[in-house]
């Protein structure tokens, strides 16, 4: 397997930021990883796992060895009375995989249509949209330890899923005072394959205003999975820029969760605030609304800007394949200015979704 040096990464990140990998290896099979780990030159080198590059902000050249995951494969694993179990290689395009499951007659992922990135990156972020999160459809995954070379399997509990969070976003740490150790797999593991449990019988997941508008528009009370898929694609395309045309990393900030008291306080000051009640009694606020209320829609720092149609999305106002695009520094300067602005007005510190490298 060939490890390339000084590889341009502009085409490998959806923000299309100019940066290089000091070294990069294309991972198309599990054997590629085993070969790499057996090589004395690379075995002990720090490694950075890169999927579709849709959830990463590059602030400079990447010094660790970049493992570009391109493992293919889609297959039916099992079928029971309660679920269809399907598997996809980590390098599969997520949206294409969702479309494929529907084409096979296996609904369940349609609410997460058109989310950018790869299947292998989906559990890392615990992606979600329109009332469905990956953890709701997750069965298990296989990964390889980048230190020992051992392949292991994790179930949902072992992945420690949270809101846009998982065990793959945290490093291992030890609490000396309490003698406890938190197990994290950040930069330690590479996901090889992911399996999903698609429920039987299938029921549409509704309840979001955008979907209710589509139902009213089409006069449909019980949409099919294909209709939901098509509607979600239409909604996302209307709100979000195509990364191939305008560089972006999707939603840049997580929707913050607040206590009932905090929510009531904000409503008292800004009655139009958009919020959603959660099962535990807390409330989730729409980060895009908070940013918009602070006047950031359409504003820019250098070539990094806030998208005119959706304030939650930061964009690259330069070309996607030229040298005139936004730098990672400009993106993060804009992001920090937005965080400060929202905090000063609402007392809430927004947390970025993308990984900053």
Which residues carry out catalysis? 164, 251, 353
Measured CA to CA, the distance from residue 273 to residue 22 in angstroms comes to 45
One DSSP character per residue, 36-95 reads HHH-TTTTTS-EEEESSSTTEE--S-B-SEEEEE----EEEEEE-SSEEEEEEETTSBHH
CB 154 within 8 A of CB 144: no
Beta carbons of 143 and 152 less than 8 angstroms apart? yes
* Helix/strand/coil percentages in the chain, nearest 5: 30, 30, 45
Alpha helices, H only, 138-245: 156-159, 209-218, 225-239
- Hey, which residues does 74 pair with through a beta bridge? 88
Q: Please name which of 167, 114, 116 lies closest in space to residue 138, comparing C-alpha atoms.
A: 167
Cis peptide before 230 (omega within 30 of 0): no
Cα torsion 141, 146, 147, 149: sign: positive
Give, as one character, the DSSP assignment of residue 11: G
Radius of gyration for the chain, computed over Cα atoms and rounded to the nearest angstrom = 21
Alpha helices in the chain (DSSP H): 30-38, 94-103, 122-125, 134-137, 156-159, 209-218, 225-239, 260-269, 287-293, 328-346
Which residue in the block uniquely carries the two structure tokens 């998982």?
Answer: 166
């Amino acid at each position: 397997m060939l490890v390339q040096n000084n590889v341009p990464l502009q085409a490998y990140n959806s923000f299309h930021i100019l940066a290089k990998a000091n070294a990069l290896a294309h991972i198309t099979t599990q054997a590629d990883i085993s070969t790499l780990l057996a090589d004395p030159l690379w075995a002990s080198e720090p490694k950075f796992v890169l999927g579709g590059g849709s959830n990463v902000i590059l602030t400079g050249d990447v010094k660790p060895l970049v493992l570009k995951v391109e493992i293919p494969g889609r297959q039916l694993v099992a079928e029971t009375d309660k679920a269809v179990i399907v598997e996809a290689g980590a390098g599969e395009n997520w949206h294409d995989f969702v479309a494929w499951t529907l084409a096979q007659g296996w609904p369940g992922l349609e609410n997460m249509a058109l989310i950018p990135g790869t299947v292998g990156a989906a559990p890392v972020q615990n992606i979600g949209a329109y009332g469905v999160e990956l953890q709701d459809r997750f069965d298990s995954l296989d990964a390889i330890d980048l230190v020992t070379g051992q392949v292991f399997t994790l179930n949902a509990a072992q992945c420690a899923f949270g809101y846009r969070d998982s065990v793959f976003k945290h490093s291992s740490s030890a609490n000396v005072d309490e003698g406890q150790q938190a197990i994290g797999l950040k930069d330690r593991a590479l996901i090889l394959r992911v399996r999903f449990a698609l429920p039987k019988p299938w029921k549409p997941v509704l309840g979001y205003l955008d979907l209710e508008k589509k139902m009213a528009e089409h006069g449909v009370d019980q949409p099919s999975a294909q209709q939901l898929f098509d509607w979600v694609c239409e909604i996302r395309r209307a709100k979000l820029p195509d990364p191939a045309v305008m560089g972006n990393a999707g939603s840049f900030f997580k929707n913050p969760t607040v206590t009932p008291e905090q929510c009531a306080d904000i409503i008292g000051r800004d009655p139009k605030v958009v919020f959603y009640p959660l099962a535990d009694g807390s409330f989730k606020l729409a980060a895009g609304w908070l940013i918009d209320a602070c006047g950031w829609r359409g504003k820019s720092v250098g070539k990094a800007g806030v998208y005119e149609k959706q304030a939650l999305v930061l964009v690259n106002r330069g070309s996607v394949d030229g040298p005139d695009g936004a730098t990672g520094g400009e993106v993060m300067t804009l992001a920090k200015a937005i965080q400060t602005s929202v905090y000063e007005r609402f007392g809430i510190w927004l947390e970025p979704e993308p990984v900053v490298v």
